[in-house]
């Protein structure tokens, strides 16, 4: 017997499954337990808002930049309690991981679901991740029989809500913050936006300092060396388990950026707490295959484990001398992370400016050491010959990343990991 799959879950990442064309939404613990015990879950049939995507992402943009753009648009539109369904020729240019990145953030844009129809990309993903070829053929045949397989011949659905539009070619590198996931900031505007927030009245986009207060700094000693701490300096830079760490393109973009940076002689400040916590052991395998692990390690992005960490406040403590300088000086310290939540006080009690960013931008801000930074005009440091190195000199293009992704990811990585998923240490 074949039937469309569905899932209810208590985790904020449950909706990621919508990227695969599976109906899935987050519920409370009691509802989830009821379903486990065989009870039905009832809900009001929601309005479905259509979201048309056209074009394709430009070379400098990532799936994270796209999702932060979608979150901003959908928050403004108001989709709480609604389903959002993505459609259009632009959807075809997004791979499964890109779609899952957008679907994952449904709780942040307020929708019950951010759904993608099933098409050739879904089938590609099933094959890439080592599913049984006969099962994949049967799945595709069933979906086509049920008119659930989206191809170019299918008419545009008749949505019960209105229809929104986004040209993917207009997406620019973006972050979100300093306190909410839907407060998108263009990467090129970050320095200007942070300085606006410093003097803006206290709130979601403000810290309430006067002009004199913005110029304060505080000295501290770390591992025997004295540093000066300024507003906006980064103390936590984390590529933390979330939708982004399930997306090979953005993960490998971070790895390639780290490689290019190290080869130019760049480094990060030692007091910045840097970590890498992928969502899957497969990430470690393709990092090794791509030859980027050693460069991530060299910059301080060593694998701390697998699972949600910094995004839910599990970064652990920062250095005592650093924390004391931030508290005593009333300084606005920054965290940059690839998670999906950045509410004040969630990431770390000492970081008041928390920005969501793609994994490569997390690496970029770790190299810069501050969010009060203009990457167009300020170099990240000098190379071995004393020549200034700008971010544009080391940033890998989308084509370069795709080439590496296609070259290193193999179905065997997924089958080997999935086959051993329940085997582990005595503690596990």
Angle between helix axes 96-104 and 63-77 (nearest 10 degrees) is: 40
* Contact yes or no for 216/233 (Cβ under 8 A): no
pLDDT band at 275 (very low <50, low <70, confident <90, very high): very high
Query: 3-class DSSP state for residue 358?
Result: coil
pLDDT at 280 over 90: no
Separation of alpha carbons 155 and 87, rounded Å: 11
Instruction: State the Cα angle at 112 between 111 and 115, rounded to 5°.
Output: 85
Least Cα distance to 262 among 221, 308, 297, 304 occurs for 297
Q: Buried (b) or exposed (e) across 134-152, using 16+ Cβ within 10 A?
A: eebeebbeebeeeeebbee
- Tell me the C-alpha distance between 27 and 13, whole Å: 11
pLDDT, residue 243, reads 66
What does the pLDDT average to over 131-156? 91
Q: Which residues of 34-52 are buried (b: 16+ CB within 10 A; e: fewer)?
A: eeeeeeeeeeeebebbbbb
Q: 31 or 293: whose pLDDT is higher?
A: 293
User: For residue 244, what pLDDT band results from cuts at 50, 70 and 90?
Assistant: low
Res 99: pLDDT: 95
| Cα 202 from Cα 53, distance rounded (Å) | 36
What pTM did the predictor assign? Answer: 0.89
CA–CA distance, 375 with 380 (Å, rounded to integer): 8
Q: What is the mean pLDDT of the chain?
A: 92
| φ and ψ at residue 425, rounded to 5 degrees | -70, 170
Structure tokens belonging to residue 194: 């942070």
Identify the band that residue 233 occupies on the pLDDT scale cut at 50, 70 and 90. Answer: very high
* Per-state percent for the chain, helix, strand, coil, to nearest 5: 40, 20, 40
Q: What is the pLDDT of residues 336-358, one digit of tens each?
A: 999 888 888 889 999 999 999 99
CA distance 156 to 50: 10
Tokens of 273: 């707490």
The three-state secondary structure class of 426 is coil
State the pLDDT confidence band at 216, using cuts at 50, 70 and 90.
Answer: very high
- C-alpha to C-alpha distances, 301 to 30, 38, 162, 269, 318, nearest whole angstrom: 38, 43, 43, 12, 15
Express each pLDDT in 304-334 by its tens digit: 988 888 878 888 899 999 999 999 999 999 9
* Domains in the chain with CATH codes: 6-170 (3.30.499.10), 174-408 (3.30.499.10)
Scanning the structure block, which residue is given the tokens 């050693």? 294
pLDDT, tens only, 38-72 = 998 888 889 999 999 999 999 889 999 999 999 99
């Amino acid at each position: 017997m074949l039937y469309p799959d569905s899932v209810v879950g208590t985790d904020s990442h449950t909706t990621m499954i919508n990227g695969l064309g599976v109906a899935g939404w987050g519920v409370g613990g009691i509802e989830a337990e009821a379903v486990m015990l065989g009870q039905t879950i009832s809900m009001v049939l929601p309005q479905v808002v259509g979201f048309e995507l056209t074009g394709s992402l430009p070379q400098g943009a990532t799936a994270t930049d796209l999702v932060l753009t979608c979150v901003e648009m959908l928050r403004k539109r108001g989709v709480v309690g609604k389903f959002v369904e993505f459609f259009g020729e632009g959807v075809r240019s997004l791979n499964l991981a890109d779609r899952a990145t957008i679907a994952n953030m449904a709780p942040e844009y307020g929708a019950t679901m951010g759904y993608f129809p099933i098409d050739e990309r879904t089938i590609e993903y099933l094959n890439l991740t080592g599913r049984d070829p006969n099962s994949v053929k049967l799945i595709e045949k069933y979906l086509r029989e049920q008119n659930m397989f989206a191809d170019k011949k299918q008419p545009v659905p008749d949505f019960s809500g209105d229809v929104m539009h986004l040209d993917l070619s207009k997406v620019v590198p973006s972050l979100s913050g300093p306190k909410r996931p839907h407060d998108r900031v263009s990467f090129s505007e970050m320095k200007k936006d942070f300085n606006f927030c410093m003097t803006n009245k206290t709130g979601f986009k403000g810290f309430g300092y006067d002009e004199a207060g913005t110029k304060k700094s505080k000295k501290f000693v770390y591992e025997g060396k004295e540093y000066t701490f300024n507003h906006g300096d980064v103390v936590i830079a984390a590529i933390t388990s979330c939708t982004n760490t399930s997306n090979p393109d953005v993960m490998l973009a971070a790895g390639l950026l780290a490689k290019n940076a190290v080869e130019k002689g760049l480094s990060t400040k030692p007091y910045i707490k840097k970590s890498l916590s992928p969502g899957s052991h497969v990430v470690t395998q393709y990092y090794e295959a791509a030859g980027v692990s050693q460069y991530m390690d060299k910059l301080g992005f060593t694998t701390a484990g697998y699972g949600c960490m910094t995004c839910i406040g599990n970064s652990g403590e920062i250095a005592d001398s650093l924390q004391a300088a931030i508290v005593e000086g009333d300084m606005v310290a920054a965290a940059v992370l690839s998670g999906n939540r950045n509410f004040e006080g969630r990431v770390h009690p000492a970081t008041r400016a928390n920005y969501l960013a793609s994994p490569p931008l997390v690496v970029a801000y770790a190299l810069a050491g501050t969010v009060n930074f203009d990457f167009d005009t300020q170099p990240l440091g000098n190379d071995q010959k004393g020549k200034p190195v700008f971010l544009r000199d080391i940033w890998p293009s989308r084509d370069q990343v795709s080439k590496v992704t296609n070259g290193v990811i193999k179905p065997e990585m997924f089958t080997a990991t999935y086959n051993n998923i329940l085997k582990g240490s005595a503690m596990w």
